[in-house]
Structure formats: structure tokens, C-alpha cells
Amino acid sequence: MHSLMEKAEILRRVQACEAVVGVDLSNMDLAAADLSATLFDRCLFAGTQMAGADLTDTRFIRCAFARADLGRCVMRGTVFHESGIERVVAAGTTLKNVTFHACTIDGLALTHAALDFVTFSHCRIDKLLLREARLEKVTFATCTTAAIDFSAASLERTVLLECDLRQCRFVGTRFSTVIFSKSLLAGLGFAGQHFVNAQFMESDLRGCDFSGAQLAHANFQSATLAGARFDGAHAPNAIFMAAQLQGASFARAGLRQALFIDAKAAQANFAGADLYQSNWAGATLTEARLDDCELTYADFSHADLTRADLRGAVMFRTKLHAVVDEGARFSDRARALESEPERLAAERWRPAALNL
């Protein structure tokens, strides 16, 4: 049960640094008010007008916001803990060092907002609008997510850890040093988009479309990319170590010096790709298409090329050390480097058994 309190008494408590506990502030006009460094505990903000208010170092504990206006507020060091946020507008707001912890967010509009060092942790996010917002050093950690709209937003040094992002929109989003770690992004489209130093480690990217995307230095280590499309993508120095690439397509992709060590790429399509000096040590490429590829100085040591198609591929000094090549088809193998006897002997050496 919430108690009622006049606006003057609220502002008096704020000035006296007293906590506001269990108060109903519904429909109150607090626009441009100084509410800084105040603790609001179990308060109700339904239809409250807070546009332009100063919320510096303000803490909202177990509060409920519904249809409130927080547009262009000043939020610095603000904390929302175990609070409910429903159909709240905070367009154009500046958020710096703000925390949302264990909150339920079902409608929060942060369009054109600036978020710097903001954390969403253990939140349930059903509707979050970040269209054309600028995010820097923002973290989404262990959140249950549904519809988040990142359209035309700028993400820089942003972390999305263990989040389900399959219903999110990334149309026209700009990515710079963004980390998608252990997150679900299956089926999303990123065709033609630009990523700078993106990290997708251990994420589920099945069926994603990265066709024509700029992915220089991107890290897909241990990611699941079965059926994903990278046709025409530019991904030099990208890392696909231990990634699941079954049936993925990289036709005509630029993958110079990319790492595919221990990748599982059975029936994947790399036709016409630039794989100059790429590393495939221990990779599985059963029935993969590598026809018409640039494979100069590529390393396939211990790779499984069973029934792979390498016809038309340039294989100048390509390493084929200890490959499994049953049924594989080549047209330039004569210029490749076959197994090295000394290295093979060293790899097969085992210490003699001790007779005790």
C-alpha cells in the first residue's frame, strides 16, 4: 500500500537527504526537479512527469514506473534495482555510470539517448528501444531478452553476455569492439554491415547472414555457425578456431590469414574465396568446396580433406602435412608441400615403456 505525499514534502525530503519510502508519486509533475542523491524505495511513478529532472546518484529500489516521462533527464550514477519499467519514455536522455539490476523492462524508449558505462544485469527485457542511440561501454549481462531495437544505433565497446538476441533488430547498427559472448543470435541478418574487432566467441549464429559484411579481425572462436552465410564478406585475420561451420557458405569471401584451426566445416562452401596464408590445422573439411580458391601458403596440416573439392585452387607452397585426402580432388597439388618426414616422425614418437 502506497501513501500519498505532496510535491513540496517530496522536494523537502530530497533537500534534507531523507529517503522517500512507499510513496505514490503518480501523475506528479517533477519536471526539471532536482532529485539527486535521493533514495526512492517501493515508490510508484505512474504517469509521473520527470522530464529534465536531475537524477544524479539517485537510487530507485523496488519502484514501479508506468507511462512516466523521463525524457532528457540527467542520469549519472543512477541505480534502478528490482524495479519495474513499463512504457517509459526517456528519449534524448544522457545516462552515465547507470545500473539496471534485476529489473523488468516492458517498454523503455531510449531513442537518441547517450549511454556511457551503463549496465543491464539479470534483467528481464521485453521491450527496449535504442534506435539511433549511442552506446559506449554498455554491458548486457545474463539478461532475459525479447525485443530490443538497436536500429541505426552506434555500439562501441559494448558487451552482450549470455543474452538471447534472436528477436532483436540490428538494421543499420554500427559495431566497434562489440562482444557477443555465449549469446543466441541464430537466424539474424547482418548482410553488408560493418564490424570493427567484433567478438562472437561461443555464440549461436546458426543460419545468420553476414554476406558482404566487413569483419576484419572478427573472432568467432568456438561459435556455432552451421548454415551461416559469409558470401562476399571481407574478413581478413578473422578467427574461426574450433567453430562449427557445417554447411556454411563463404563463397568469394576475403579471408586472408584467417584461422580455422580445429574448425568443423564439413560440406562448407569456400568456392572462389581468398584464403591466402590461412591456417586449417586439424580442421574437418569433409566434402567441402575449396574450388577456385587462393590457397597460397595456406596450412592444412592434419586436416581432413576427405572428398573435398580443390580443383582450380592456387596451391603454391600450400602445406598438406599429414592430411587425410581420400577422394579429394586437386588440380594444383604439384606445387603444394606434402608431409615432412622429420616432422611426421617427431609427431609419432612416443617414449619407450619403462621396465620396472
Reported in sequence order, the residue ranges of 238-293 that DSSP labels E, i.e. its strands, are: none
Q: Give the Cα separation of 256 and 204 in Å (integer).
A: 24
Buried b (16+ CB within 10 A) or exposed e, 295-332: bbbbbbbbbbbbbbbbeebbbeebbbbbbbbeebbbee
For the chain, give the mean pLDDT: 95
User: Which cell numbers hold the place of 257?
Assistant: 590469414
Q: Tens of pLDDT along 332-350? A: 999 999 999 888 888 888 8
- Can you give the pLDDT at residue 344? 86
Q: What's the gap between Cα 312 and its chain centre?
A: 36
Cβ neighbors of 346 (< 8 A, separation 6 or more) are none
- Can you give the pLDDT at residue 55? 96
5 vs 17, higher pLDDT: 17
Relative to beta strand 64-66, strand 84-89 is parallel
- Can you give the pLDDT at residue 68? 96
* C-alpha torsion angle, residues 255, 261, 262, 267 (rounded to 10): 20
- Can you give the pLDDT at residue 353? 80
User: Which cell numbers hold the place of 120?
Assistant: 543491464
pTM: 0.89
Edge-to-edge strand order for the sheet containing 119-121? Answer: 20-21, 39-41, 59-61, 79-81, 99-101, 119-121, 139-141, 159-161, 179-181
* Residues 304-324, mean pLDDT to the nearest whole number: 97
Mapping DSSP to helix (H, G, I), strand (E, B) and coil, where does residue 348 land? helix
Residue 27: Cβ within 10 Å count:
12
Relative to beta strand 39-41, strand 154-156 is unpaired
- Can you give the pLDDT at residue 203? 97
Edge-to-edge strand order for the sheet containing 134-136? Answer: 74-76, 94-96, 114-116, 134-136, 154-156, 174-176, 195-196
Residue 1: Cβ within 10 Å count:
5
Q: Give the Cα separation of 167 and 147 in Å (integer).
A: 5
Percent of the chain with pLDDT over 70: 99
Q: Give the Cα separation of 38 and 60 in Å (integer).
A: 8
Reported in sequence order, the residue ranges of 184-226 that DSSP labels E, i.e. its strands, are: 195-196
Cβ atoms of residues 23 and 1 within 8 Å: no
Taken in order of first residue, the domains within the chain and their CATH numbers are: 17-184 (2.160.20.80)
**98 pLDDT exceeds 80?**
yes
Q: Give the Cα separation of 131 and 153 in Å (integer).
A: 6
- Can you give the pLDDT at residue 1? 54
Continuous H helices in the chain: 7-15, 341-348
Q: Which band of pLDDT confidence, cut at 50, 70 and 90, is reported for residue 82?
A: very high
Q: Tens of pLDDT along 19-62? A: 999 999 999 999 999 999 999 999 999 999 999 999 999 999 99
Q: What's the gap between Cα 208 and its chain centre?
A: 13
Q: Tens of pLDDT along 238-273? A: 999 999 999 999 999 999 999 999 999 999 999 999
Q: Tell me phi and psi for residue 14, to 5 degrees.
A: -60, -50
Q: Give the Cα separation of 28 and 14 in Å (integer).
A: 15
- Can you give the pLDDT at residue 8? 87
**290 pLDDT exceeds 90?**
yes
Q: Tens of pLDDT along 138-196? A: 999 989 888 899 999 999 999 999 999 999 999 999 999 999 999 999 999 999 999 99
**356 pLDDT exceeds 70?**
no
Residue 349: Cβ within 10 Å count:
8
